[in-house]
Structure 1
Amino acid sequence: MASDPKIYVYEEVAKHNKTKDCWLVINGKVYDVTPFMDDHPGGDEVLLSATGKDATNDFEDVGHSDSAREMMDKYYIGEIDVSTVPTKRTYTPPQQAQYNPDKTPEFLIKILQFLVPLLILGLAFVVRHYTKEK
């Protein structure tokens, strides 16, 4: 590790949140884990989900081995200015399709709109055909 570490503000670290450019904050330290994305045993999604926040709890909850902790040294790039890290991450819910109160899939509605008139016509034809006087 560097003897005089660079200090990063949260806004700078949070910009690095892609597979080809991924930084994490763990225990007040900033790591550029971009070269490790393809090799991470949990996949790159795990690392990406830890961007934009203090990922210490995420890291500790997994119970990483001593060798994993030693490996972090080669990805260390500096320290985070803890006063710039938000205490809470803002949750943005995923965008959803138009609300359908009865939960009926749209394709089923379209099929029924086509089939119901055909069934009524077919039933009318059958009734007319068999009730005709011969």
Structure 2
Amino acid sequence: MGGERKVFTLAEVSEHNSPKDCWLVIDGKVYDVTKFLDDHPGGDEVLLSATGKDATDDFEDVGHSSSAKAMMDELYVGHIDSSTIPTKVKYTPPKQPHYNQDKTQEFVIKLLQFLVPLLILGLAFGVRFYTKSA
């Protein structure tokens, strides 16, 4: 498709999702990878699973060679209308209280809360017993 610069929506590209007609969106460009499915080193399933979405992250995560990137020029069919691609939502974990890995301080407090009343009780009985026997 020589010098044409066709712009596709994600919905249009998503219709091309079969082994007989497979298009991908990578870096804002649309590629017809149908004739490359059988030759893809990762297998056709990898390419087919990347249809219907922006596959840029999938493509970059693998770390393709410069020759693989050069091969993409032959498969180019147009650009994607970026307004049709859903925006990515960054995951923000919920706020949680700080986790204290050093539990020594808490352990000492709980131990004292247990032992001090026992010590007072023992001291009271000891004083009483000592005063009766003296």
Shorter-chain TM-score range: 0.5 to 0.7
* Match of residue 37 from structure 1: 37
Query: Structure 1, residues 80-105: CA drift from partner, whole Å, max 9, x if none?
Result: 000011236xxxxxxxxxxxxxxxxx
Separation in 2 of the partners of 1:86 and 1:16?
18
Aligned-pair CA distance for 1:32: 0.3
Q: Within 5 Å, which residues of 2 pair with 1:97-108? A: none
Separation in 2 of the partners of 1:77 and 1:15?
14
Separation in 1 of the partners of 2:4 and 2:16?
22
**Per residue, is there more helix in 1 or in 2?**
2
RMSD: 1.3
* Match of residue 123 from structure 1: none
Query: Structure 1, residues 48-100: CA drift from partner, whole Å, max 9, x if none?
Result: 11101000000000000000000000000000000011236xxxxxxxxxxxx
* Match of residue 107 from structure 1: none
Query: In the alignment, residue 76 of structure 1 is paired with which amino acid?
Result: Y
Query: In the alignment, residue 13 of structure 1 is paired with which amino acid?
Result: V
Q: Within 5 Å, which residues of 2 pair with 1:122-133? A: none
Secondary structure, in 3 states, of the residue corresponding to 2:53? coil
Separation in 2 of the partners of 1:87 and 1:32?
23
* TM-score, normalised relative to structure 2: 0.63
* Match of residue 60 from structure 2: 60
For structure 2, list consecutive stretches of 5 or more residues without a partner in the other structure: 89-134
Separation in 1 of the partners of 2:58 and 2:6?
24
For structure 1, list consecutive stretches of 5 or more residues without a partner in the other structure: 89-134
Query: In the alignment, residue 7 of structure 1 is paired with which amino acid?
Result: V
Segments ≥4 residues shifted beyond 6 Å: none
Separation in 1 of the partners of 2:53 and 2:21?
15
Separation in 2 of the partners of 1:8 and 1:20?
19
